[in-house]
Structure 1
Amino acid sequence: MKKNAVFFLAIVLSVTLLLTACSGGSKTNDNEGGEKGGNTKETVKTGDSNETSEITMWIHPYLGADRATENEQMFKDFGDQFTNETGVKANIQLIPWANRDQRMLMAFSAGKGPDIVYLVIDHLAQFGTMGVLEPLDSFIPEDVKKDYNESSLQSTTLDGKIYAIPMLQTVNPFIYNLDLLEQVGWDTNKLPETWEDLENLFEKVKAAGKIGFLYFGGENANLSFYTWMWQAGGNVLDDNGNVVINSPETQKALNKIAEWYKKGYMAKDSVTLVGGNQIDPIWESGDCALMVGGSMDYITGAKKTKFKIDVGMPTKDKEQAIFGTVGGWSVATTSKNKDAAVKLILKVTEKENMKLFLEKSGFLPPKKSLTNMFDNEPLLSKLVQNTVYVKPGIRHPAGRTITTAIMPPVWQSVMLGEDTVEGALNKVVEPINKAVADSMSIKTE
């Protein structure tokens, strides 16, 4: 059915306000969406792409703000390859991470957005529901689909349709301080595999007067609670969008987090700890055994520690699971040459081009054919092994609101003893239901 332009613009503006409100107080680290850099000074231009002669692709400073020029040139080189093969110009535009939601929404509402945008799961769910993204199943060759890890392609699939072609993957890994583990008598050749193993380790570490693990209680649920909830077998929404937050499984995970905090396994300020300047000094002190997530710079070596570290596999209660991001390229429904747009994406995500991008950026490969690219780097290789257990968060238009605005008070109130597990979870059922209902009201026909 043809969309009503005035109605659509009203929807866009209302969602823009919602996103602004939700993102204003949130904190991100380099594991969420690949947002490694700050703002850039690039001028963002929007405009229609000529149907046959030009495809516009919006990229971001994936290598960090200090390497924006290198970042842009790399993608322009990819674009030149595409142009040489197709005769269609690739108009590569570098835009900052800041306010990109609003930029995309306003551009799409005016019908002058780019042909190609980079999205992670929460944006994908929002824009896919709004009807501004083109399903890509029929454009992607079968051999390309088969080369992607199942977890990465599933992450960009909504209602059975692929809305983005993956470019990168991340994980929030279990990073262990091997020196401290050795100090307390733990066999570092056998890192914890279960919650019971973790508790045994935490007891040894506590007895030595050290910290068991760093819990990012001041971050959003992706970076703090969801990994434990998924490992217990819980979830926020079921596949039909029904709220299932107060299940026995989620209660168990929340109770375990509160129990570990009250037993003194965590840092005292874990209720409000956030990544970066708060977490790094504690970790670098060498007094903590485990950090789940944190800066990837410790893995790549950009940040150094005086102690040996290792990456473990996700622990397990009912199942192994860990939070991670999948970022990929989507095509706007307003694109006048969708076939060429997909061909540009396929060129950018071609094996050798993707490999170059991943080597420069430090992100992980979503393709099976690149699984071995970090075999000579033990820590990065273990991160790649972790990717099969990745869950990307809540794949629903309300996911960002639930994850950043609604969920944090749940574990914070229970950890502080201000509410019971069941009581805290019951209190968010209504707000989550409202967020779900509100998000579905923006769906275009």
Structure 2
Amino acid sequence: MKKKISILVLFIILGAVLVACNSDEDTSATEEEISGEITVWVHPYTSDSNAEEAMWEEIVASYEEEFDATVTIETIPWSNRDQKILTALAANNGPDVFYAIPDQMPQYADEGMLLELDPYLEDNEMDDFVDSALVSTKWQDKTYGLPILQEAYTFFYNVDVVKAIGKDPENLPTTWSEFEEWAKAAKEEGYYAYSYQGGGSMNGTLYPFIWQAGGKVITEDDEVMINNVESVKAFEFVNNMYEKNWIPEDSITAMNHDAIWNAGEMLAVLGSGISLTNLQESGLDFVIAPPLKNKEQKTYGTTGMFVVPTNSDNPNAAAEFVKTVTNAENQRKFNTITQYIPTRESAKNIFDDQQYLKQLSEYTQYALPGVIHPKGRNIMPMIQAEVQTMMEGEKTPQEAADAAAEAIEAEIAK
């Protein structure tokens, strides 16, 4: 508890200091005025450190050829990254650019910790970015980051199971009703329909169904919508799957159903590009379907971005580096190595000869990066607990949604 309180206090104090110190910052530097040094914090995105080092050398060289500035790349571990970043920034000893994910950005931006990038983006070909990739870079209509990678989660179907239940692997479900028809057929033939990993993130369980139903969890203006008519349909959809045994009995708390899938006893699993290696190693023949649709066609897919802290000693050079690292050429370099999907449409051609990644790259247009809100990370366990209570039969879908809404409202009020 002490650790959580100290970080919150750090947010508030640092935010106030940064806003006061940077309110009159000049963002009109010309290319000739961009000089000096910047430090960029990145993470290990693959297990091949040598390939990543070479990649960063190329990306940095492309920047330093254009600007009279020197870039130092520092790789920091994923563990405890929040605390490391906050501590460094509070000590005015942090990076000039760092990598952020969707549930970090709104927390930092809301506390005034991030530099607004809009004044720098007039010449940045913003129309080339996938619209959905920009969702997680904005807070209160201001841009605080530029995206470099994206994912799109969707259903992977076991071809043998599809055929066993009398369905066509070339004509996969695209709507809830079609999936329910397939799920029923799978159950009748002794298969589970789907892997619902109730112990995992809401991004991979309930949230996609909420978005597909046309619902939302919470808005930027703190309007709680998880218990409205549309969102409750997602609770009902999950509850229906569990009551009809279309998903395994341990789905309430399960973290994965790899053993069931690998045994050929499951119709579909939710996956993305990072799932491909495991799926291919399973030896099973599979096909990938477009994200499902009820009222809307949506899915989950994280977005990785680069941001600039407001206490950077060299904000103009830092902002230009963010633009450079996320341009089409460097996105091709970065995502060829990492095998994530570029966020620029013009860079997606790196996967033209890779069947599955090419298909998944077409689905990022439907991918939302989670709940973009400063409280997005905090409210997830509250929602998860209510969904689990519902699946245990102790609450109706509406009651679970109402209880989740009440918990979210209490968290916002803190």
TM > 0.5: yes
Aligned ranges 1:68-87 → 2 under 5 Å: 68-87=49-68
Q: Give the TM-score of the pair, scaled to structure 1.
A: 0.83
1:355 paired residue number: 332
2:356: which partner in 1?
Answer: 379
Q: Corresponding residue for 1:89?
A: 70
Residues of 2 paired with 1:174 and 1:157: CA distance? 28
Amino acid at match of 1:410: E
> Structure 1, residues 110-152: CA drift from partner, whole Å, max 9, x if none?
1221000111111000000010100101112344211111111
* Compared CA separation, residues 319 and 9, structure 1 to 2 (3 A): closer
| Local SS of the residue matching 1:355 | helix
SS state at 1:407 partner: helix
What residue number does 2:345 align with? Answer: 368
| Residues 376-402 of structure 1: per-residue CA shift (max 9 Å, x gap) | 222111111111111111111000111
Q: Which residue of 1 aligns with 2:259?
A: 281
SS in 2 for 1:394: coil
**Does residue 196 of structure 1 match 2:177?**
yes
Q: Secondary structure at the match of 2:393?
A: coil
- Structure 2 equivalent of residue 413 of structure 1: 389
Is 2:36 aligned against 1:60?
no
Identify which of 10, 14, 17 aligns with 1:12.
Answer: 10
SS in 2 for 1:118: strand
C-alpha change, 1:434 and 1:182, in structure 2 (3 Å) is same
Q: Deviations over 1:53-84 (max 9, x none)?
A: 21000000011xx3234323321332233223
Structure 1 residues 270-349: aligned runs within 5 Å: 270-274=251-255, 278-293=256-271, 296-300=273-277, 303-349=280-326
Map Cα deviations across residues 324-357 of structure 1 (whole Å, 9 max, x no partner).
1111100111112211112222222232221121
What residue in structure 2 maps to residue 432 of structure 1? 408
Aligned-partner residue type, residue 321 of structure 1: K
Moved more, 418-427 or 168-177: 418-427
Q: How far apart, in 2, do the equivalents of 1:331 and 1:398 lie?
A: 21
For 1:304 and 1:412, the matched residues in 2 are separated by 32
Counting only pairs closer than 5 Å after superposition, residues 73-222 of structure 1 correspond to structure 2 as 73-222=54-203
Q: Which letter maps to 1:288? A: M
Gaps of 5+ in 1: 1-7, 17-50, 439-445
Shift of 1:297: 4.4
Q: Is the 8 A contact 1:229 1:253 kept in 2?
A: yes
Change (3 A) 1:230 1:147: same
Cα distance in structure 1, aligned partners of 2:198 and 2:392: 11
CA shift at 1:429, angstroms?
2.3
Cα–Cα, structure 1 residues 381 and 421, in superposed 2: closer, same or farther, change >3 Å?
Answer: same
Instruction: Name the count of aligned residue pairs.
Output: 390
Q: What is the CA-CA distance between 1:163 and the residue it aligns to?
A: 0.6
1:101 CA displacement: 0.3
Q: What is the CA-CA distance between 1:298 and the residue it aligns to?
A: 4.0
Does the 8 A contact of 1:152 with 1:326 survive in 2? Answer: yes
Could you tell me the percent identity over the aligned residues?
A: 33
| 1:435, distance to aligned residue in structure 2 (A) | 2.1
Q: Is the 8 A contact 1:300 1:380 kept in 2?
A: no
User: 2:26: which partner in 1?
Assistant: none
Q: Per the alignment, in what secondary structure is the counterpart of residue 53 of structure 1? A: strand
- Cα RMSD of the aligned pairs, angstroms, is 2.1
CA contact (8 A) 2:135 2:369 kept: no
- SS at the partner of 2:39? strand
In structure 2, do the counterparts of structure 1 residues 252 and 335 end up closer, same or farther at CA, with 3 Å as the change threshold?
A: same
Moved over 6 A (4+): 13-16
1:371 CA displacement: 3.0
Whole-angstrom distance in 2 between the partners of 1:318 and 1:383: 21
Cross-structure match for 2:21: none
- The residue type paired with residue 79 of structure 2 is A
DSSP-derived class of the 2:320 partner: helix
Contact 2:135 2:368 survives alignment (8 Å): no
Q: Which residue of the other structure, out of 201, 208, 227, is the alignment partner of 1:246?
A: 227
Instruction: Tell me how far apart the structure 2 counterparts of residues 281 and 15 of structure 1 sit (CA, whole Å).
Output: 48
By how many angstroms is 1:431 displaced?
Answer: 2.1
Alignment of 1:231 with 2:212, yes or no, is: yes
Cα distance in 2, alignment partners of residues 340 and 10 from structure 1 = 30
Shift of 1:242: 1.0
